[in-house]
Amino acid sequence: MSAWPGRRYFIVSLITAAALLAPLARGDSASEQRLLGMWLTQDKGAVIEFFLTAAGKVAGRIVAGNSGTERLDDRNPNPVLRSRRISDAVILQGFRYAGDGRWTDGTVYNPDNGRTYRCDLELKNADTLSVHGYMGLFLFGRSELWTRKR
């Protein structure tokens, strides 16, 4: 006889609760993937492609720009990367879906000044994305509105 008669009931209850709560922990993958695809920056100077990484995070790379020549990442603080082309460079990374059309905990690299900032993303609607880069506190930053490229 078992030392605790309610042990079996307790274990079954835990398994049932875990099964019911598992979809909430994973999030809604359809909502998470609304960000994926091509976006045009606010100044229309570049097209950014958002994609899922192997780690399940969202990242973004430059896939096109208005510059007629292939620009180099000459302001990068890492001397080894200064000779790489900006096109195909991953400039947004580490984003996790926080719910309600928001992605947090990411960074954005600005090739114009070679700095990396903390960054949050928010879908305002299906075709408008708010990109907010900041240093330290959320208040010390700026936002841009990007549009989905169709």
Residue 12 lies in a domain: no
Question: What's the domain count of the chain?
Answer: 1
Chain-centroid distance of CA 16 in Å reads 33
The pLDDT tens digits for 33-61 are 899 999 999 999 899 999 999 999 999 99
CATH number at residue 110: 2.40.128.520
Asked, for residue 76, whether it belongs to a domain, the answer is yes
Q: Please report the pLDDT score of residue 32 as a whole number.
A: 81
Is 116 domain-assigned? Answer: yes
Q: Which domain holds residue 50?
A: 28-148
Per the model's pLDDT, the better-predicted residue between 63 and 16 turns out to be 63
In a domain, 9, yes or no: no
Predicted confidence (pLDDT) per residue in 64-106, tens digit: 877 655 789 999 999 999 999 998 899 999 999 999 999 999 9
